[in-house]
Structure 1
Amino acid sequence: MRKIIALFAGLAALAGAPNPTAAFEGQAFGRNGLWRIVHGVCSPMSRLTGFAAPCLAVDRERGFATLRAPDEATHIIVTPLVRVAGVESASLLRKDAPNYWADAWSERHWIEQAVGHPLGWSDIGMAINSRDGRSQDQLHIHVDCVIPQVKTALARAARGRKGWFEIDLRRWSGIYRARRLSAEELDRNIFRMVALEISHGRDNMAGETIAVIGVDEPGAGRGFLLLVAGGGGHAEELLDHKCRVAGNVLRD
C-alpha cells in the first residue's frame, strides 16, 4: 500500500509540469529531479504495472532506466536505478561495477526509432558531463547523434592510432585525450580505465568529462573513441540533439 501511495504522490507532483520529464532539467525538483522521476515514478510504475512511463524503459535486471530528454526527439538519457551521484562516485571504480556505458549503447535503438530509419555505427555517441558541467546529481549518460563535423574529425584522427593521443575539438567543446577502443572493449569498466590511465585521473574524477563515440574505420572495423577532458568539461557538446547525420533536421 505504501508503494502505491508513493507512486501516486510522485505522479501528482509531476502532474503540474507541462512535460513531466522536464523535472530533470531542474524546472521542478532541482538537481534531484532525475532521481525523483526514476526512483519515485518510473521504477515503481514498471514494477506495479509493467509500463515504464514517463520513462521509455526500465530494465530491472540490468539496473537502469532510459528516458527521452525534454523536447529533444533523439536525445536519450540512461541512468542507474540505484543512487549514484555522478562521474566522481567511487562505486563506479569497483571491478564489479555495472557497465552503464554498455547499457547506454544498447539503448541507441530509441534514437533510430525517433528518426524513422537505421543509423550508422559512427553516427551515435555517448557522453557524461563533469560534476560542474551537469544539471543533475544522479549519474546519467547522454546518448544521441554526433555532430556531423565532429564525426568527420574523429574518423580522421582515429585512423591508425594506438594508445592515448590528443585531439583538438575546441570548435565544439575542448581539447581531449583520446584512445581507440575495439567494440569488445566497451565491456571494460570505462570509468576505471579513465581513473587509472589518465594522469591524476583517479584524484580528479569530479572534473572529468567523458565521451564514447562510435567509429567505423575501413580495415579496422567497428569500435569506439574514448574521449576524456578535465577541468569541469561538458562532453555533451559533441552530440547533436537535432541529429543532422540522419539526413533531416528535426524540428524543435
Structure 2
Amino acid sequence: MFPPAHLARLTTLVATLLAGAGAAWADVGGTLSLQTDARERGMSYSANRPSAQLGLAWDGEAGWYGGAQLAHARFSQRRGAALQLYGGRVFGLAPGLDGEAGIVAHAYENVSNYDYQEVYAGLLGERWNLRAYVSPDYYGIGQRSVYAEFNLRWPLARGVAALGHVGLLHGRGGRASPYAEPHGATRADLRLGASWQLGTSSELQLAWTAAGRGGPYTWTDATRRRTLVLGLTTAF
C-alpha cells in the first residue's frame, strides 16, 4: 500500500488548494471508465490490457477545482493501484478564452519510486485546450521534464464528436532512461478518434493512439506503440 505519510502529503496538495478557495463540497461529481487499454501520453500503463478507472471531482468558487483518479497499473511484473490527485484554478482571459494553472501528484502502489509531481498551465477554448506540464523528477528517475499537449473536440452531429490529441514530451538532466536510448530525449504521441453520447450521462469513445520512442520513460518498451482503444465512461 501507499506509505501513510507519503499519501498524506499528496492529499494535502489538493486539500490546501480547495480549502484556500472555499470549495463548495456540494459540487461533487464522479466518473467510472472502462477501457480496453489504459494509456497515458501514448504509453500503456495497463500492459496492453483492459482497465477500469474511478474519478472524483470537486468544483469550488471563483474557478477553483480539485479531484482524484484511481486506476490499476501494471509495470513489468509489478502491479497495483495508481492514484492521481490534482487541484487548480480556471480564470477568464477574454471572451471565449480562459487560462488555467494547477498541480498534479502521481503515486503508485508497490512501485513508489515512480511517484512524481507536476505543475501545469494552459489555455482553454470552447472546443480545444493547450497545456504544458513541468516536473522536476519525472517518474522518479532524476530527470526534469516538459510535456506539451493540444486537445481538440469538434462536434460532427448531435451526440457525435471528433477527437484529436497531439503531445510532445522532453526530458533533460539526471540519468538518461535506459528505455529511451538511443532514441533521444523527446517523444511524441498522437490520438485520433470519435465519441458518441449515450443517454444523458455516458459516452463511448473509439480512438487510434500512437507513440514514438525516446523521452524520459522508465518502464519496458514492450508496450504496443500503435493501437485502437475503446472506452466507456459513465458520470454519476
Structure 1 length as normaliser, TM-score? 0.28
Structure 2 length as normaliser, TM-score? 0.29
The structure where helix makes up a greater share of residues is 1
The structure where strand makes up a greater share of residues is 2
Higher relative contact order (CA 8 A, sep 6+): 1
